Amino acid sequence: MSYQSIMKNISIHDRVFEALKKAHDVQPKLNAMVSFIDPTSQLEALKPKDNTLPLYGIPVVLKDLVNMKDTITTGSSKILANYVSPYDATIVKKLKEAGAIIIGKASCDTFGMGGTNKTAATGPVYNPYDLSRMSGGSSGGSAVLVASGVVPMAIGTDTGDSVRKPAAYSGIVGIKPTYGRISRYGIIPYASSLDHVGFFTNNVLDAALTLEILAGRDDLDMTSSQRPVEKYTEACVGNVSGQRFGIISNVTDAIQNKQTMRQFDDLCQKLKDQGAIITKIHLNDDLMKAMLPTYYVIANAEATANHSNLDSLRFGVQVEGKDNEAIMMASRTEGFGPLLRKRFVIGSYALFTENQEIIFRKAQKVRRLIVEDVQKALSSVDCLIAPASGNGAPLIEDSQIDLLSSEYLVAENYMAFGNFSGYPSMTVPFGFDGILPLGVNLTCRPFEEGRMLNLAQGIEDLTGLKDLICEVKP
């Protein structure tokens, strides 16, 4: 349901509390919320404001990495279980200025480190289409709250594919704009050179409007761009005629699921019938297979540096010890789960002086080669396109994945090139694998969000898959 129609025939107060009630009702099934926020004071502050604000009275949810003053922000961790934010992130200020009402914080993989949403201190998040399956991560809580109709928009972050993969698994729109397009000030980081603010909506037009609201320069984030914010909603005309789509053949060749590929091929044929130019693009095979290990080295090295301040001496949950060193060791051991500790070990090892050149610097060089390969591909097409995943959402307890197969290394991890490059990328629904949604991913050149949204609108018009809501019975 679009922003324009969501408030019809219902008061703002009733709509917001209806969303809050629904969030509580589905919590036992989805386990998507970390904390709930009483919206009363926000509703009072909204009364004197212009009711034509773009998000006037719209209930939204933040990923539990986003600081909002006087609310708990845990990063879905144990070590920050008692941390109360002293200030608003820039995007929180922008949401409030646009009239949005924030009703809670959504679960994520701890500090955004993961692709399953199984590592949160509060436990895994479940997919509304099949409660035995995962939401994807790290922004899985935000994704399923939109997919189940609790809120029409939720904030996520994307460091490898952490918005776009959960969007695919949940049958919704997930967008990661160009690096620097949205301020990251006030958001707990994972890897600073890869982190992007992203978000989820039920349709492309709402995604375009959300980007208009959130985008723009912020002097509190020196990586944010000076480029003017475009009227992205005006670009969403859905005209694909003459637009050049490059199918990433490395990805499609690696996918084994015939149902996925049949529907993807059908979509490409429909685009062609509308006048789109469809070609195949083959990226460097060695670089595609090196993407995941390269990501692991860079992301975890940056995370190790970013989270060195989590010592529990100044803030956070503290475990007793005989001295400061003992307190830090005990607090971090208790506060970090095993997968998080594993990532910090990888990051620390890569940053050892004797290892920096042969591991960390080498990974940075490989990253540059990957970006150059993608840049070259986008010089001949307007958009790179491929299924966001070869399959619908995996089972929570799935242990059958071959981690060295091309299907896993390439088809399930290729979207990280959008983070390596900082290029805009988004996922929209294009079909179903049984009852499970499938998403198609689009990646365009830097700051071509308008083009990307137009192409996504064209796909949405062809599939008719928008405003999908999977009702979860309490």
User: What are the residue ranges of helices labelled H in 163-203?
Assistant: 164-170
Please give the Cα distance from 255 to 242 (Å, whole number). Answer: 28
CB 209 within 8 A of CB 232: yes
Single-letter amino acid code for the residue at 419:
N
User: How far apart are the C-alpha atoms of 334 and 299, rounded to whole Å?
Assistant: 23
Is residue 409 a contact partner of residue 288, using CB atoms and an 8 Å limit? yes
Distances (CA, A) of 470 to 26, 62, 233, 343: 11, 20, 26, 34
Selection from 262, 202, 252, 229 nearest residue 428 by Cα: 202
Query: Which candidate in 63, 105, 165, 466 is catalytic?
Result: 63
Contact 52, 72 (CB under 8 A): no
Total residues found in the chain within this entry = 474
How many C-beta atoms surround the C-beta of residue 59 within 10 A?
A: 28
* Terminal-residue alpha carbon distance, the chain: 21
The pair of structure tokens assigned to 206 is: 């709402």
Half-sphere exposure of 317 (CA within 13 A, CB side): 17
- Indicate the helix (H) or strand (E) that contains 33: strand 33-36
Catalytic residue among 76, 107, 138, 406: 138
Cβ contact 396:137 at 8 Å: no
d(CA 251, CA 235): 28
Which residue in this structure is represented by tokens 């993807």? 264
230 exposure class (CB count in 10 Å sphere: 0-12, 13-18, 19+):
middle
Q: Clarify whether 138 is annotated catalytic.
A: yes
Active site residue 22: no
The single residue of 76, 142, 162, 425 carrying the catalytic annotation is 162
276: burial class by Cβ within 10 Å (0-12, 13-18, 19+)? buried
Count of helix runs (H) and strand runs (E) in the chain: 17, 13
Known catalytic residues are 63, 138, 162
